[in-house]
């Protein structure tokens, strides 16, 4: 079975563009803002994150934990 692209946002180029956007995120608040865009689904963000360096991936994981802790403390 061939992987079918269901949206232009699921193309390799679009995911690479999203990964590029992730490199400009400076903190958990910025990641939360980017994640709040409906088109940037969790799946797309995860795919984009895999294109980043391991240190960037680790930093994003740390921010995700901060965001989750903030939500549970609210």
The series of mean pLDDT values per 10 residues for the chain, 74 residues long, is 73 97 97 97 97 98 95 76
C-beta of residue 64 within 8 angstroms of C-beta of residue 30 = no
Residue 18's CB is within 10 A of a number of other CB atoms, namely 20
Tell me the pTM. Answer: 0.84
- Nearest residue to 69 (alpha-carbon basis) of 61, 55, 59, 26: 61
Cα separation, 19 vs 47, whole angstroms: 8
Q: Where are the chain's structural domains?
A: 10-73
């Amino acid at each position: 079975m061939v992987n079918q692209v269901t949206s232009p946002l699921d193309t390799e180029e679009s995911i690479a563009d999203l990964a590029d956007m992730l490199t400009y995120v400076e903190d958990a608040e910025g990641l939360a803002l980017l994640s709040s865009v409906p088109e940037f689904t969790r799946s797309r963000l995860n795919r984009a994150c895999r294109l980043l360096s391991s240190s960037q991936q680790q930093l994003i994981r740390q921010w995700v934990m901060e965001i989750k802790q903030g939500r549970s403390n609210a």
